[in-house]
Structure 1
């Protein structure tokens, strides 16, 4: 702790007068290393540990049980009904209490037995305005769903302090989520320009800035014809991990029709397609198979050496 004589007198005077110390003294008095931290009114490291019972409201059976790969003990293949297990569930309720019940309740053992949760995608409400109606598309028809009285009350309570309320809400839930995730797992968080900068700092604090993998830009709209400003046409999806998740390449083999239409040439090495390997604008010669070859006039080779 390194305080000047003037700073020491200021601290004593402020304490005697019962006043709040300026922010700079928090680091001077209690923290040797100054670290970047996002703070807001109402921030707390405490998370709920409430455990509520889950009640089955509706059970949707899978008629083609042969398509469901589950163990014999957790699945009745005759009826196509799941008997036990924590997967394949759509849980309705306050997500904070759902996460707390999964973390602290009897399902925690089942989740850990399967190695924890490997992949999470969340789409939290980030437009902290007054209108919480939403459009639901069914086929070619769009329906507008207005919030009911209970939803109005819930949202009013949640967003009472604006972005302070949002940050407190998302911070607690992310901490609950983090505790449920396996050692090698991934989380994707959808956001937009309203809270991107603050949400990124919250994610850094919960998962660690070194576990940030990427910001995926999602172009949701076409260009806006607005002469007064640049149109906002993208959202962000923040990608974080715990540990080192295994990346599984998703690919499918080309079908025969595509191969024949796309790869029109063939030699002893197999099928291939011709492609232009020059670009507009002059450029130097390149070596191909030991021979220096000039590009066509006004063109350059697109491959560098």
Structure 2
């Protein structure tokens, strides 16, 4: 056996990883990426863009949460609905492209509309077109864009990219084999995604990243008398139309159609170094140039990537977010197309794999997502993996007025944000059944061993009353939850406070203290830093904890 990992899959990173004090603060935005790009990202300010937008798969994707007891999922919260419809929003996106000044992009989009009609796919393409125009604007002249998609719409998206970036700025279609097999009864298994690679200009950032040789390639190597691994390469070349190299050397003459590929001086040097294999009579073999494995840089990246598997269901890397991509995939893209200190942008950042890879390799980054579930997951992921990360979150409520505005615009996003404020696990999603108005769960260990739960109810409206306290109490009894937390935008009445107090107290042997069983918190108190008074809260219950990354410079991509 021989070890090659230390030699391969590496990229030369210039200098040491920048210290945190010398790097600008990275940014996470909650909001529609079209609005965020226009309002917060300057022209030609981004070095690398990776986007993994919804594929228009007509599927709903859920974030899976699992209780600390390891049982079945306690909640499946709908992260996003990957379905688009032709409506006023789609018409508005189409109109924005028409008035963008990019006539080629609009001509393509208009032709697609004539072909497809006003259907779901056309709505998706209009949404993507207006955003691709903005992404082109913010990309530096030396920048690159990677668009991750599947065959559902990859051919249409490539046409849009040709219109926005120019067909001559297309560099590669990368095929990523994400799984080894996928059974289908009446068609070929779907095992790969497509990544479209474009650049802003004809001069772009490119780092030579090498990958490990395959087992088949390594099988060509053998040991010499000194135990060094080598393969044999041909010393001759096709010389049908040339007299070059047609000479006898040390008793060997190539066939009439071939000649020596190297000068006699070079051949003699290799002979003296023992680099030429010999025949039994001592003359040189024409296929006998020794190429040693030691010192080789590895295999250049090709456009088909088969060496990075998807994240398995039991992988420690899996966080429970739908469509999560492996960090290794994004590390490769970041390493190839950016340098330390560059800015990496992911406008559909989901669970934050691209910005995780960017942080790991010493880049600055901008992440954007339209759900508070994603923002909460990313914020926790980054703080778990990089405890010293300088992370700013924009777009989430920072005061009572902005919280009230979010509640008025989208009650579910408001609920998910408020649930994250009390470090609870979201529960129920948009399709509430017999949950009694439960919006979140806080797991805790009152004796340091057994796990109990506190139910969380979020109310963002103006009309709250004592009946809501009774409903939460009923849910606590039904679910055998010793504690409950009622979060309200408006101040509770004295009757509500009296009803909550009547639920009683909970005693923890571990702390020797008692706690109100049903606690009422206002949004104003949350902004002042107040949190539920609960003993031994499990900090890993809401989202799976990401593994902590090393703060040392990483010269090798694993």
Q: TM-score w.r.t. structure 1 length?
A: 0.50
Q: Distance in 1 between matches of 2:138 and 2:71?
A: 38
1:133 and 2:53 aligned:
no
Aligned twin of 2:546 = none
1:1-305 maps to which residues of 2 (within 5 A)? 68-69=18-19, 85=24, 87-103=25-41, 108=42, 116-129=45-58, 131-134=59-62, 145-147=76-78, 161-243=119-201, 244-250=203-209, 265=224, 272-275=228-231, 291-292=252-253
After superposition, the C-alpha distances for 1:238-276 in whole angstroms (9 at most, x for unaligned) are 000011113122369xxxxxxxxx996587xxx942336
Task: Deviation per CA, 1:139-190: give whole Å up to 9, x if none.
Answer: x999674327xx5699666689401111111100000010001111100000
Question: What are structure 1's unaligned runs of at least 5 residues?
Answer: 1-65, 76-84, 253-261, 279-285
Post-superposition offset of 1:121: 0.4
SS of the residue 1:274 aligns to? strand
Q: Deviations over 1:118-152 (max 9, x none)?
A: 111000101331x32235599x999674327xx56
172-181 or 88-97: bigger deviation: 88-97
Any conservation in 2 of the 1:216–1:237 contact (CA below 8 Å)?
A: yes
Following superposition, the deviation at residue 206 of structure 1 comes to 0.2
Q: Is the 8 A contact 2:46 2:143 kept in 1?
A: yes
Query: Which residue in 2 is equivalent to 1:80?
Result: none
CA distance in 1, matches of 2:249, 2:33: 62
Change (3 A) 1:189 1:153: closer
**What CA distance in whole angstroms lies between the structure 1 residues aligned with 2:173 and 2:204?**
17
Distance 1:134 1:219, change over 3 A: farther
Q: Per-residue CA shift, 1:78-114, capped at 9, x if unaligned?
A: xxxxxxx4x51122221111111124xxxx2xx76xx
Aligned residues: 191
What whole-Å deviation, never above 9, does each CA across 1:192-227 have from its counterpart, x for those lacking one? Answer: 111011111000000000000000001112223334
Return the structure number with greater relative CO, CA threshold 8 A, min gap 6: 2
Judged with a 3 Å threshold, the aligned counterparts in structure 2 of structure 1 residues 233 and 153 are, in CA distance, closer, same or farther, namely closer
Q: Is the partner of 1:132 in helix, strand or coil?
A: strand
Q: Distance in 2 between matches of 1:266 and 1:153?
A: 61
**In structure 2, C-alpha distance between the alignment counterparts of 1:101 and 1:169, rounded to whole Å:** 18
RMSD value, Cα: 4.4
Pair 301,190 (structure 1): closer, same or farther in 2 beyond 3 Å: same
Closer/same/farther in 2, CA of residues 199 and 264 from structure 1, 3 Å limit: same
- Gap change, CA 1:250 and 1:222, over 3 Å in 2: closer
Preserved contact between residue 149 and residue 195 of structure 2 (Cα < 8 Å): yes
Q: Which has the larger radius of gyration?
A: 2
